Every structure is written in C-alpha cells, then in structure tokens.
Amino acid sequence: MHELPVIRLRPKSRPQAIRHGFPWVFADEVVLDRRTRALDPGGFAVLEDAERRALALVTVNPESKIVARVMDGDPAACIDEAWIAGRLSRALALRERLYDVPFYRLIHAEADGLPGLVIDRFGDTAVIQPNAAWTDAMADRIAEALIAVTKVETVILNGQGRARGLEGLAERMEVLRGTAPEAPISVTMNGATYLADLMGGQKTGLFFDQRPNHAFAQRLATGVEMLDVFSHVGGFGLAALAAGADRATCVDGSAPALQLAVGGARAMGAADRLETVQADAFKAMEQMAADGRKFGLVVCDPPAFAPSKQALDAGLRAYERVAKLAAPLVAPGGYLVLCSCSHAADLTQFRNVSARGIGRGGRRGVLIHTGQAGPDHPTLPQLAETGYLKSLFFRLDG
C-alpha cells in the first residue's frame, strides 16, 4: 500500500479528544494548507497531532466542516473490503443476539465503527445510506462486503437527505446488487405489520428506531382511541391497534405514507379500526380541538425540527407548539407521547419545551417514561449525535 498523506492538528487543538474516542475533526482544528485542501474527498490520511505524532487513520473531506472522520485507531490500517467486512460482522453479531428475525438497523454510522454509513436490513434486502464521502466512493465495495457477511440478495443505495448535502455529495438512488422489490416489504414489529417502500419511501423506507417506544405505547393503548400525529406509515398507530386499541387515527401530510399505513392495517385485519387524515399536522390538531375530539393516547412523532444548531431556537419553538396543540386532545387521565429526532436539541431542552407546551395547552401532568432508540441504534458515548431520539411519555391530569 502506498504511503498515505498526512493531515495535522493545529497546536491549540485537543488531540486527547481523538485519543479518548471522539471520531470527528473539524475544519478549524487542522492545518488546512494548499496540500490538505487538494486531497480527494473520501480519501484516507494519517492524522497527526501538532508534535507530528500519529493519532489515527482518518477519511478526509476538505469540502465538509467535518474535515476528517476517524476510521481506525491504527494509523497503518488498510481500509479495504476485508476491513469493512470485519466491522459488518461485529455489527451483525450484535443484531443477531438482539433480534430473532433480520429486520433492524445493521449499521448505525460512527457507533458501529463505519462513520457516515447507515444500513437498514429488511430480510434479504439491505438499504444503505452513504452519508460521508468515503462511503459514496466505496459503495460498491461496501455492497460486496455486505453480501458476503449477511448473505442478503439485494442492496439498494438511497443517497438522499440533508447529511449528503453537508458533505458536498449529489443525490443518487440506485440498486447496487440484485433486483429492486416490486412491492412494499412487509415487516412485523411488536405484533404490528408495516409496509416499507424501499425505493420511494422516506429515508430507508421504515423507522426501526422507535421499536421499543412503540412497545411501551402499546401498554397505554389497550381499549382506548388513539391519535398518531406525523404518523408516516402508521408507526405508533398500527402498534396501538395490535395491542387492542379501539381505534387509531393517523395524521400525516403524505398520501403515499398513509396508503402504506392502510395496507399494514389491512394485513393485520384491523383496517376497520384505522382512520387516516391527510393534512398539515398543526392544522389537523387545531381542527380536532375545535371539534372537541378527545383520545386516550396521543402520540406526536414529527420530523427533525432542529437538525442543526442554527435551527435550534426555531425547532424548540415548533416542539413547544406541538405539545400545546396536542395536550388539549388528550382525554382526562390519558397519555401524551412527544418525540424528537433532532440531535441539536438535547433531552433537557426537549423535555423543558414539552412541559411548557403542555402547560400552555391548559394541562398538567407527570412524566412516566423517557424512551430512546432501540439497541440496533447504539450510542457512541463520545458523540451525542448518535443518541438523537427522545420519546417522552406523560400522563395528563383531568
């Protein structure tokens, strides 16, 4: 292997953060001379501290604010198909211990030692999201290693989303190996049936991260009417029906997503207990309040309102408004579940604005449970962004 280029930390940077497991190096922390700026996005280099001591092997992208991501603590490591297969095998061993059937997040980026890479598995099909330059450049080799390790037959690349734009990567969507499924894939979780559109749906087609929170919500859903706002393909709503909810109402702005929710309910034999409302979620909640509707369980699982620090203030105001509008829809003694997938809003901030919104909605209550993503979405302790999901379960007074 030819000698790799070197990038060097500035004298006032903190190399101990890298030594202690922090996986990112920002552009203002390295010497960005003409040679470093000329490095190919997605290439590899040796990261050195200011005293020229090697710290790690990194992948570089001079076009990103995250100019380097740690690939391996061994500066002499070789990032090839065998190296990728090793990381995949380790991740697979964890998921096979956790789940009886192969439907889960297989790779959760930095937390699984593959920075910027997300892989969701749907039985014999896997969907990869290459959100860092190196993953885009090595997508075919990742697909080959994935097939060798997991024996999946189809690998779909879903190169869409905000993260790719931050890396300077163009959107792309293609089937790397195998054949694209002709129909949505049926996925069973917590006794509910979901339909995942792997080629046309949001993200990879289904959100596995809420699985444990669906399960907790099921304890509160038996024998009540429930409302699932920002429902996507019916995540909480279908889980509630599976647990014996009298009725579920799913609200979402996407007609295709709601059609998949209906398909899932039909597959469960529960279509007659599902109502769908295609509308702006805020307007729908306002109208339901005006109509005097009440539900024993209300769940709001919106998109990321605060995807960055720059959007934090506006995002927190949006989360507060969600809580304010949702709280009056909860029947006396009922339950309100508020979720955030914004990594820029930490748990304390989200909990505070949620409580304030509930109060502004004229209600009081207690927090009975705080949920996070399932164990197939492991958290890297040094990187808060890997622990992005927060789900707050409140019991509201009369």
CATH number for the domain that contains residue 49? 2.30.130.10
Let me know whether 353 and 299 are in one domain. yes
Let me know whether 200 and 315 are in one domain. yes
Which secondary-structure segment (H or E) carries 130? Answer: strand 125-130
In a domain, 286, yes or no: yes
- pLDDT of 1 > 60? The answer is no
Let me know whether 373 and 254 are in one domain. yes
Let me know whether 243 and 313 are in one domain. yes
In a domain, 126, yes or no: yes
Catalytic sites, residue numbers: 341
Average pLDDT of the chain is 96
CA distance 208 to 231: 14
Could you list the residue range(s) of the whole structural domain that residue 13 is in? 6-72
Report yes or no: 217 and 269 within 8 Å, Cβ to Cβ: no
Share of the chain above pLDDT 90, in %: 93
Instruction: Give 224-269 pLDDT, tens digit per residue.
Output: 999 999 999 999 999 999 999 999 999 999 999 999 999 999 999 9
Structural domains of the chain, count: 3
Let me know whether 297 and 354 are in one domain. yes
For residue 36, give Cα distances in angstroms to 33, 98, 104, 125, 276.
5, 42, 38, 38, 53
Q: What is the CATH number of the domain that holds 161?
A: 3.30.750.80
CA distance 29 to 21: 16
Domain boundary among 126, 151, 177: 177
Let me know whether 221 and 352 are in one domain. yes
Q: How far is CA 318 from the centre of its chain?
A: 19
In a domain, 1, yes or no: no
* pTM, 2 dp: 0.95
Let me know whether 313 and 270 are in one domain. yes
**Confidence band for 201, pLDDT divided at 50, 70 and 90:** confident
**Confidence band for 2, pLDDT divided at 50, 70 and 90:** low
Taking each helix axis from N to C end, the angle separating 235-242 and 211-221, rounded to the nearest 10 degrees, works out to 50
Length of the chain: 398
Let me know whether 320 and 376 are in one domain. yes
In a domain, 164, yes or no: yes
Taking each helix axis from N to C end, the angle separating 312-326 and 347-360, rounded to the nearest 10 degrees, works out to 40
Tokens for 75? 């500066």
Report yes or no: 265 and 240 within 8 Å, Cβ to Cβ: no
Let me know whether 103 and 162 are in one domain. yes
CA distance 334 to 224: 9
Tokens for 41? 């996005």
CA distance 292 to 337: 20
Tokens for 51? 């005293």
In a domain, 117, yes or no: yes
The amino acid that residue 308 corresponds to is S
